[in-house]
Structure 1
């Protein structure tokens, strides 16, 4: 696809949109890193989803140049990002998580890289969990087949087997550039002309899977989604949580979003197949952990029960 240059000749090379919810201290570190590591003309837009930890006061008091939208309620990740995107003025648009730290002029570097790749509609950079560990960001389209590989743990059986590893690109170490289906949502850089062609994020996704849907629409419109290790950021929550720390409400919300994605892009048959995958994998997890009394096993049973309740009765957990 031919397109105009992504150049950074206007007064604002990039609008950086950050959705925040009760991450005051790490938000401060993120904003400081942007200021210190970004020299190209830019603006930062923080959309706060009704935080109760003083995040709004932090931005107002310590970062007066940041454009702040303070919501009275938690509108969800996609809707809050859209609020920022709608007022953004930059030639490029960057969705950035608040639990990230910009390293080594990463945003400037990615803008230069994007300017040299006019066929790219969404770009992601290398993400570190610590000084030596590269997070396995980006993943394949979350259709029914790839969903089954993940839910039944088949993607872990052999990271050297391209067939089994394809759902999360398990045979790739993230040290090389690669075209991907989905750029992970903690750092998504999109040229303005691509955004204007594709549109806002789908607010049917309260949280989770919105980046998969956006990337799908970008690819369907003829652009590539690409990961490049040209630049690096640090993801403070990159290590993830243990099973015992995962709340049933968010666990089911993740599955709900995946079901919305399947219905939208794979139709009723895809939706049915996805539901059967979640039911089958939940039953398997419950059965395999029933004789184990350790905390992690108890958490697996709790999550499995919540999943089965949702898929069989449409009842969502409240906690």
Structure 2
């Protein structure tokens, strides 16, 4: 079987680590190596893993490099043929790694493999990620379905449990360090698809995720209408990175209609929060836009490299997205009750 480097990233997540690594110890196949990347934690995470899981290789960063930078650092040190990125707030089923690696052996065109995602706290709830053509995504909770063999092509594999061929990761430039966190996974997925590779989700590779465990603000949209809660800083960083992702990855012809559509929804959001007397949210959206204007020169430089490696047209990728805006879908599902903490 293909050699895998399992990379677990943490930042002050010591309380998650025991369960995560114990589930990795119970795997039906052994990873080539398991790496903890400690993103400048101050809670003793690195020492805890060294003491309790001596076979795990620990890499410590003196500062918090974010999800993107931390995983890039670990990827440079990894020696496996496949990099398996895993959040610290996850547990995996005993055959998870075996199932995740199987597609890589079956089809050399497959570059990224995702999992069957289950809510850690409500294990009868399966989570499907809905992603639109703007790169916006929501975690949609549905009744859990029985695991079945096989896999299906997808547009988006979330970064909390993502396996990628090491050669492809390096080919497309890894995660974009400038993102820090949020949307760095969709950006990576998008570039891999543009380069002509396949991306699939395995139906019987089960990962249990504490949505919002590592980073407050992540939430599953439930079947029943209830408020959607997130944080102001997350919305600002998320919007900033989504704009950058769209600018980098679409062909110029499609940017001519995608950008106006994106900012049309953006304007609706601003009007919504103004009506809710939330000028702080409006200012956060404004800062996200200003950050993109300031970073436009770099974005255009990176964009040229991405477009140069393009092997497939945008329409091939767009067909795999959800039509319409998932932000509007989320608003409807929550009864337009969106609560953003300052």
TM-score by length of 1: 0.75
How far apart are 1:285 and its partner, in Å?
Answer: 3.6
What is the rounded CA distance, in whole Å, between the counterparts of 1:39 and 1:27 in structure 2? 20
Q: Is the 8 A contact 1:139 1:168 kept in 2?
A: no
What is the rounded CA distance, in whole Å, between the counterparts of 1:281 and 1:189 in structure 2? 34
Provide the residue aligned with 1:255 in structure 2: 239
How far apart are 1:210 and its partner, in Å?
Answer: 1.2
3-state DSSP class of the match of 1:263?
A: helix
Distance 1:60 1:171, change over 3 A: closer
Q: Is the 8 A contact 2:219 2:229 kept in 1?
A: no
* 1:231 and 2:219 matched: no
Query: Alignment partner for residue 84 of structure 2, among 90, 94, 118?
Result: 94
Alignment of 1:155-304 (within 5 A): 177-237=151-211, 240=219, 246-266=230-250, 274-287=262-275, 289-290=276-277, 301=278, 304=281
TM-score by length of 2: 0.70
Alignment deviations for residues 130-173 of structure 1 (CA, whole Å, 9 cap, x no partner) = 32110113634435xxx5xx7xxxxxxxxxxxxxxxx9899998
How far apart are 1:120 and its partner, in Å?
Answer: 1.1
Number of residue pairs matched by the alignment: 276
Distance 1:169 1:22, change over 3 A: closer
Q: Is the 8 A contact 1:49 1:71 kept in 2?
A: yes
How far apart are 1:98 and its partner, in Å?
Answer: 0.9
Provide the residue aligned with 2:45 in structure 1: 55
Provide the residue aligned with 2:13 in structure 1: 23
* 1:139 and 2:113 matched: no
Distance 1:253 1:38, change over 3 A: farther
Q: Is the 8 A contact 2:125 2:143 kept in 1?
A: no
What is the rounded CA distance, in whole Å, between the counterparts of 1:245 and 1:197 in structure 2? 37
What is the rounded CA distance, in whole Å, between the counterparts of 2:243 and 2:282 in structure 1? 18
What is the rounded CA distance, in whole Å, between the counterparts of 2:196 and 2:90 in structure 1? 30
Distance 1:194 1:314, change over 3 A: closer
5+ residue gaps, structure 2, are 213-217, 221-225, 293-341
What is the rounded CA distance, in whole Å, between the counterparts of 1:168 and 1:224 in structure 2? 22
Would you tell me which structure has more strand in proportion to its own residues? Answer: 2
5+ residue gaps, structure 1, are 1-6, 151-166, 291-300
